[in-house]
Amino acid sequence: MQLVGILAFIVALLTSVMVHEFGHFITAKRYGMKVSEFFLGFGTRLWSFKRGETEFGIKAIPAGGYCRIEGMTPGDEMPEGEEGRAFYLASSARKLIVLGAGSFLHFVLAYFLLFTLFAGVGINQVLPTINSVIADTAASAAGFREGDEIISINGEKVSKWEDDLAKIRGSRGSELTIVVARNGEEITIIAAPRLTKIDDGSERYVLGIINSVGTKRISVTESVTRAGSLTWDFTSASAKALVQLPSKIPALWGQTFGNEARDENGPVGVVGIARVSGQAAANGELSIAQRAGTFILIVASLNVFVGLFNLLPILPLDGGHMAVAIADEVRAFFARLRGRPRPEPIDVKVLTPVTAVVFVILAALTLLLLIADIFNPISLNL
């Protein structure tokens, strides 16, 4: 099962990459730019077909994918008669949309996955089913039994146990009319919660029941808002992680080569995430729904992080190209103020040395994470 989880993660990762590239593809086509290739993988071409002016296909090294938009820089040659379709000639607004579309679809995909989790798979939550009744409590005196499903409290239908639990604790000892389902019948029970001292030293009104915990779907309406809220939480956490990343690299070096314990909240590479996915799939203590839910959370959070990472204003990331497009607009604005013509677009090839330095840094970090994930992997004890 662990291998299944790893393979499923690889498929999900490649799908996410191609969704990203599709964002560039569909917006570039929308604005009349020439898109000549759309491929999964790199290296030798294994299989392809051509539709219109674009060649689609698969290459030998499944390490990502790409969408080739012609005319990214002024020095790129364009087919005769199609010079006007070069990317660099587009307005800055259109450039920003095309460049940002890939990251945008990462967030859309994450939201869709989380919505599917809430509405289709379900999440772990406290259920209104009684797992056990504590002796010498209001519940045992009133006649509650293990397996009873609480349907309503004081005439109000039970829908979300956290809210109904508040009714019990806020009763201040008043009698509650509780309807339970037992062996296919509905039974009404009258019970008055008792003020009870809790392990932490506080006191609260309780019935004396322990509820079951299980996977349960939530309504479509609530799933819409819950998915949006969790997507935002993932985005905030990813932004915080990116800000903290430089400060965590020295510790990662020690964890990789100094036999130090790996920080569960530290950076992790693709191999590490794949390993965690495999752990989740192989955990016999989790139900199928719980395994699926864990996998969906992993893939959704990864998409949010990758989407945000790609927006960083450094070349060769999409955010770096977006920064160049914004710089073009700033230069044009000042040119207008001075009554001068619009300057020529910035040629990103001029920034090749900067791009090369960033690429080396990212490659070194990727290699460090790869070594750490292999020789000192993170284990989440799933």
Q: HEC profile for 328-354?
A: HHHHHHHHHHCCCCCCCCCCHHHHHHH
> For 155-158, which contacts have Cβ atoms below 8 Å and span 24 or more sequence positions?
158/128
What are 69-113's pLDDT values in tens digits?
Answer: 999 988 888 988 899 999 999 999 999 999 999 999 999 999 999
d(CA 246, CA 13): 25
Confidence of residue 251 (pLDDT cuts 50, 70, 90): confident
Lowest-confidence segment of 104-108, 213-217, 316-320, 376-380 by average pLDDT: 376-380
d(CA 302, CA 237): 11
Q: Name the residue among 263, 238, 241 with its Cα closest to residue 251.
A: 263
Q: Which residues contact 220 (CB under 8 A, 6 or more apart)?
A: 119
Contact status, residue 211 vs residue 130, Cβ threshold 8 Å: yes
297-308 average pLDDT score: 95
State the CB neighbour count (10 A cutoff) for residue 222: 14
At residue 305, the pLDDT reads 95
State the CB neighbour count (10 A cutoff) for residue 24: 24
The helix (run of H) or strand (run of E) holding residue 40 is strand 35-51
CATH of domain 123-216: 2.30.42.10
What are 146-182's pLDDT values in tens digits?
Answer: 999 999 999 889 887 878 888 888 888 899 999 999 9
Fill in the DSSP letter of residue 89. Answer: G
At residue 180, the pLDDT reads 94
Q: Please give the residue that has the higher pLDDT: either 190 or 160.
A: 190
Q: Is the pLDDT of residue 340 over 60?
A: yes
237-264 average pLDDT score: 86
Q: Is the pLDDT of residue 381 over 80?
A: no
At residue 204, the pLDDT reads 87
- Element counts in the chain: helices (H) and strands (E): 9, 10
- CATH 2.30.42.10 range(s) for the chain read 123-216
d(CA 290, CA 326): 44
Lowest-confidence segment of 4-8, 144-148, 188-192, 309-313 by average pLDDT: 4-8
Largest interatomic CA distance in the chain: 89
* pTM recorded for the entire structure: 0.84
Q: Is the pLDDT of residue 382 over 60?
A: no
The helix (run of H) or strand (run of E) holding residue 273 is helix 270-282
State percent of the chain over pLDDT 70: 99
What are 198-215's pLDDT values in tens digits?
Answer: 777 788 888 989 998 888
Q: Is the pLDDT of residue 379 over 70?
A: no
d(CA 56, CA 41): 11
Q: Is the pLDDT of residue 264 over 80?
A: no
Q: Name the residue among 291, 344, 262 with its Cα closest to residue 89.
A: 344
At residue 38, the pLDDT reads 97
Q: Is the pLDDT of residue 20 over 90?
A: yes
Distances (CA, A) of 327 to 261, 314, 332, 347: 44, 13, 9, 11
Contact status, residue 361 vs residue 369, Cβ threshold 8 Å: no
At residue 1, the pLDDT reads 63
Length of the chain: 382
Residues taking part in catalysis: 21
d(CA 77, CA 63): 28
Distances (CA, A) of 192 to 137, 173, 177: 10, 5, 9
- Treating both helix axes as pointing N-terminal to C-terminal, what angle do 288-309 and 220-257 enclose, rounded to 10 degrees? 70
d(CA 136, CA 156): 27
